[in-house]
Amino acid sequence: MCNRRDPLIPQIGVITHVETETPDVKTFRIVRPEGGKLFDHMPGQCAMICVPGVSEGMFSITSSPTNREYQEFSIKRCGMLTEQLHSLEPGDQVTVRGPYGNHFPVETELKGKDLLFIAGGIGLAPLRSVINYVLDNRQDYGKIDILYGARSADDLVRRKEMEEVWMKAPGVNGYLTIDVAQEGWNGHVGFVPDYLKEIGFAADKTALVCGPPIMIKFVLAALEGMGYTKEQVYTTLELRMKCGIGKCGRCNIGSKYVCKDGPVFRLDQIEELPDEY
Amino acid sequence: MYKITKENLRALFREIAGSRELYLPVEMGGQVNFGVWDEDAKVRLDVLKTVKSPKDIFFPQAETLYTCTGSGKNIRIKPQELKDRDFVVFGMRACDVRGVKVLDQVFLSDPQDTYYAARRAHGILVSMACGRPEESCFCSTFGIDAAAPEGDVAAWMTEKDLFLKPLTEKGEQFITSVESLLTKAEDEAETVEAEQKRIREILEKLPYRNLSLDGWDGGATEEKFDSPIWETLYRPCLACGTCTFVCPTCQCYDIKDYRTAEGVQRYRCWDSCMYSDFTLMAGGNNRTTQLQRFRQRFMHKLIYFPANNQGMYSCVGCGRCVEKCPSSLNIVKVIKAFEKQGGGANV
């Protein structure tokens, strides 16, 4: 192990558990070689995971800070690195550095608010950290609504947790939807933005939105139509990152670095940025 | 103030190099760049601009960050040793010294880059006034005085002598370390002042002397970003990235793996925002056109960087991009293009 502190030098992480969520998403549980959490983080923060000799990539930490034992990352297979990560098994090691970036303002602006979580596909990963944080500090927040959709029932990440934990928790309403009808699915069918309008949440909540860019685009428009102001909506940006500390230049947009000043932005902050995300 | 005759410079270099690494402009293969001095080095203090800026002494074009050995269930990480010996960079021009200050804003800000910080801590900057500024120079636009460079020690080359003036504590220590070879020149301030006057007279005659940054004060970001000027301005750009590599302030980098017999070396190397894969992700690319990439480089240097760094521009007017761009495209053209639209004074 290394003793020098440099933001670019990682620590070793050991995978202790791998859960296959969907045909292309796995959730990895990672701890230090001697056991215990890699570091402390806040909901929405990310970390750089590397398979030496392959590549390194930024992933949001999907477990809640209230989890004292380990960190979890839900990772979708879509490139060289993620392909390699998906081949790893418990006991295998990776390198991890972080946590990086800002976080959802769970201790400040979100406190006492009714929260509306809107997620699409793998976009549930960063929000899951917030959801579990909020549920573990239930008295600090108001009513909770979770709207989650995916292409198909098989593509719903953390479906079991959603149905068996979150939807059974006090003061939580959950809504699941899939894009196209399929056998065995009795729930709602339709895109997330349409379902959002159909449910028609009152505009007195704070919305946290994560998902594919196209979903975010239509969800934001829908929220606006429902009377939500830009100050009531939070989302995350995702750009190419290498250093994670605002120096390598890749994720620069306007005077912001998504890795350091983001990934969490309030909608009014995003609108100040050049239209390049 | 101290001085040394030109004939004795070799002895000075030998003295410096005896206990420290000495970097200075040397000619190799027909090109002059900063390199390590040895007895056979062809020193070219007369050359105003090295092809590459001396930024790679502090931020190398490629450097190993750490080495990973083992794999699978037993990975070990060995960080690269940090620079731990003093070294001297001799003959840096005023623009390049400011270039290092721009890099400081990036690499020394929290969280600090320890590789860069170690080199800065051990590096002694001996700058040299520009005896013969060239027509591609426009450092004055950024408030840089080529006749009075910053650094730990400033130097002026006259017909017979090199005058040296320590500017920092580090500079004082450097002077002390080579004092036996220097002559005190407290009463020769006039000679240096005359040289400064001569330099400033040349600066006054340079073609870009009136290049103005009016309108690039950090405001009107959206207006500049959305301007139709970019659509014609970017066209000659070949996306070769030459401007970014010769630039003293460009600091974008990549981090990659190199497999060796001893393990996987994780290294970083200069990268360029001019390249199409710079922002490419598995999930898409937020700058798909050269117009977007071209605009990003100049918006960053003239608007985004100053916004984050108390108004400091990420350009020092060294003019290397002016000289090296194969399409004769450069930051001067960008600044001027916006001036014509009422963005600043006429040039």
Task: Please write the tens of the pLDDT for every residue from A231-247.
Answer: 999 999 989 999 999 99
% of chain B exceeding 70 in pLDDT: 98
pLDDT in tens, B59-90: 999 999 999 998 889 999 999 999 999 999 99
* Residue % of chain A over a pLDDT of 70: 99
Domains of chain A: 11-99 (2.40.30.10), 115-236 (3.40.50.80)
ipTM of the complex, rounded to two decimals: 0.91
Is the model's pLDDT at A110 over the cut of 50?
yes
- CB contacts < 8 A (A, B): 126
**What residues 194-223 of chain B have any CB closer than 8 A to a CB of chain A?**
221-222
Q: Over the stretch B106-133, which tens digit does the pLDDT of each residue have?
A: 999 999 999 999 999 999 999 999 999 9
The yes-or-no verdict on residue A6 having pLDDT over 90 is no
The C-alpha of B57 sits at a distance from chain A's nearest C-alpha, in angstroms, of 18
Q: Does A2 contact chain B (CB < 8 Å)?
A: yes
Q: Give strand pairing partners of A42.
A: none
Q: Which of B73, B255, B308 sits opposite A242 (nearest CB)?
A: B255
Question: Does B347 score more than 70 pLDDT?
Answer: no
Q: Give me the residues of A, 200-219, that contact B with CB < 8 A.
A: 213
Confidence (pLDDT) at B214: 87
Cα-based distances in Å from A29 to A85, A102, A181: 12, 22, 32
Q: How many C-beta atoms lie closer than 10 Å to residue B195's C-beta?
A: 18
- CA–CA distance, A41 with A59 (Å, rounded to integer): 13
| Nearest chain A Cα distance for residue B74, angstroms | 7
For chain B, domain boundaries = 2-58+83-205, 221-255+271-343
Q: Look at residue B281 and give its three-state secondary structure.
A: strand
Distance from CA of A185 to the nearest CA of B (A): 29
With CB atoms and an 8 Å threshold, state whether B296 touches A276: yes
Residue B300: list chain A partners with CB under 8 A. Answer: 249, 252
When pLDDT is averaged across residues B233-252 and rounded to a whole number, the result is 96
Which whole-number Å values give the CA distances from B93 to A255, B18, B162, B300, B326, in the listed order?
A: 29, 24, 15, 24, 24
Report how far residue A75's alpha carbon sits from residue A125's, in angstroms, rounded to the nearest whole number.
8
Give the residue-averaged pLDDT of A69-80.
Answer: 95
C-alpha pair distances (Å), A13 with each of A28, A42, A56, A98, B7: 11, 19, 13, 12, 60
State the pLDDT confidence band at B216, using cuts at 50, 70 and 90.
confident
Q: What is the mean pLDDT of residues A65-92?
A: 96
pLDDT at A3 over 80: no
List CB contacts (< 8 A) between A240 and chain B.
278-281, 285-286
* Three-point CA angle A204, A207, A209, nearest 5°: 165
The predicted pLDDT at position B340 comes to 62
C-alpha B171, offset from chain centre: 20
